[in-house]
Amino acid sequence: MESAMHYIPYGRQSINEDDIKVVEEVLKSDFLTTGPKIAEFERKFADYVGAKYAVAVSNGTAALHIACMAAGIGKGDEVITTPITFAASANCALYCGATPVFADIDPVTYNISPESVECHVTERTKAIIPVHYTGQTCDMDAIHKIADKYNLIVIEDAAHAVGAEYKGKKIGSLSDMTEFSFHPVKHITCGEGGIVTTNREDLYEKLKLFRTHGITREEKFLHKVDGPWYYEQIDLGYNYRITDIQAALGISQLGRIDKFLEKRKKIAAKYDEAFRDFNGIEIPKQAEYSNSAYHLYVIKVDKSIRKALFEYLRANNIGVNVHYIPVYTFPYYREHGYEDVKCENAEKLYESIISIPIYYDLSDEEQDYVIDKIKEFMIENR
């Protein structure tokens, strides 16, 4: 029976009949985009994370881009982030003509090391983009302390951290801006989608402007008023709008966020239990200030067997993955001034990690199968 197990991905969406119904309702309504569902989604998401404002956009990468633009990041500026992340966390700085600078990670939490961040601050540093890797929060007090000392903007990449808590407070209102993603493998999905939350009205106004071409109809920003049709382009933005179809799905999904998070925690606890005392596997350690949202569950094994274990699991229909390849090692970065960059902890981590399945609809039986297959391999190969 085990060998006939169907494919189990490392992550996937959970869609129910309510999700389908609300999307269908939008399709039959007057607005497919720029209608009432977007504002409703923004309000509900901002309330959920405890932020004053939210601006929803077409994806998480667009959210990071407009956040960098709103922060005034541009040519000559440096932005410090982690190499253990999806490329978008650094690319957003490049989009603005700025230079991403990679600080090393903390070897225990795998998150960006505040000490390393401080080592990389220069006169040109403008912002820090910490990433709450796997859903475990970064050491935000330490990061804010550095930001205050050197007058830096903090944009949290919380693509892994919907519902995560730092010292009992939800991620989303702690820094100047926070970005979330609603890609299907994330906690809640819009198909594609992203959002920036902020408590600052000035940033909120800029985010809205950059989402839609730099165009505004708001009288307080207009240089003149020519008539009721009149609008102005007062800056250079993009078309990063999200549709009402996506926003309606997001609202429906957000309604189940507590259930989603609870299940992820349950799965993580079961993996912890299965591997805690199992020779050859290191489970992720949790910092006491963080209540993880468990976007990913990452195990560490000896680098000499990582590839074989990965291939064994894939051969057994388990869709494991590696998060992440250190961003600066990509050819694009190596060819654009990063040929000598090296973050030792990040490179060491990369050689040993595998992300194993964690998502709402993962059944007990499927998780047992994943655990059995990992143990089976380890017993034969460690």
Binding residues for ligand PLP, how many (CB under 6 A)? 14
Cα separation, 157 vs 172, in Å, equals 10
Min separation Cβ 163 and ligand PLP, Å: 15
How far apart (Å, rounded) are the C-alpha atoms in residues 283 and 272? 6
Which residue from 345, 344, 355 is spatially nearest to 301, judged by alpha carbons? 355
Q: How many angstroms separate the CA atoms of 156 and 129, rounded?
A: 5
Residue whose structure tokens are 């830096």: 152
Nearer CB in complex with ligand PLP: 328/377: 328
Contact map string, positions 51 to 70, toward ligand PLP, x by CB under 6 A: --------xxx---------
Tell me: does residue 82 bind ligand PLP (CB under 6 A): no
Distance of closest approach, residue 11 Cβ to ligand PLP, in angstroms: 10
Q: Does 250 bind ligand PLP (CB under 6 A)?
A: no
Smallest distance from ligand PLP to CB 354, Å: 17
Give yes or no for a contact between 282 and 299, defined as CB atoms under 8 angstroms apart: yes
Q: Does 183 bind ligand PLP (CB under 6 A)?
A: yes
Please report whether residue 113 would count as binding ligand PLP according to CB under 6 A: no
Closer to ligand PLP by CB, 60 or 237: give it. 60
For the CB of residue 286, give the shortest distance to ligand PLP in the complex, in Å: 18
Print burial letters for 265-277: b (CB count within 10 Å at least 16), e (below 16). bebbebbeebbee
Residue 264 binds ligand PLP (CB under 6 A): no
Distance CA 206, CA 71 (A): 9
Q: Are 161 and 135 in contact (CB under 8 A)?
A: yes
Give 207 or 274: the residue with its C-beta nearer to ligand PLP: 207
Cβ-based nearer residue to ligand PLP, 98 or 309? 98
To ligand PLP, the closest distance from the beta carbon of 276 in angstroms equals 26
**Intra-chain end-to-end CA distance of the chain, in Å:** 26
Comparing CB distances to ligand PLP, the nearer of 67 and 251 is 67
Report the residue number whose CB is nearest to ligand PLP: 60
Query: Which positions from 291 through 310 interact with ligand PLP, judged by CB under 6 A?
Result: none
Q: Does 247 bind ligand PLP (CB under 6 A)?
A: no
The rounded distance, in Å, linking the Cα atoms of 162 and 132 is 10
- CB-nearer residue toward ligand PLP: 65 or 306: 65
Token pair in block for residue 242: 């999200």
The total of other beta-carbon atoms located within 10 Å of residue 141's CB is 12
The CA distance from 80 to 112, in Å, is: 10
What is the C-alpha to C-alpha distance for residues 150 and 293, in angstroms, rounded to an integer? 30
Q: Which helix (H) or strand (E) holds 26?
A: helix 17-27
- 131 contributes a contact to ligand PLP by CB under 6 A: yes
Q: Would you count residue 199 as binding ligand PLP (CB under 6 A)?
A: no
Nearer to ligand PLP, 137 or 316 (CB): 137
Question: How many CB atoms lie under 10 A from the CB of residue 42?
Answer: 22
Q: Which of 88, 161, 251, 362 binds ligand PLP (CB under 6 A)?
A: 88
CB of 178 to ligand PLP, least distance (A): 12
- Give the interface segment with ligand PLP, choosing from 65-73, 83-91, 281-289, 311-319 (CB under 6 A): 83-91
Kindly identify the residues of this chain, within the stretch 133-162, that bind ligand PLP according to CB under 6 A. 157, 159-160
Are 294 and 134 in contact by the 8 Å Cβ rule? The answer is yes
**Count of helix runs (H) and strand runs (E) in the chain:** 13, 16
- HSE of 200, CA atoms in CB hemisphere, 13 A: 16
Residues that bind ligand PLP (CB under 6 A): 59-61, 85-86, 88-89, 131, 157, 159-160, 181, 183, 194
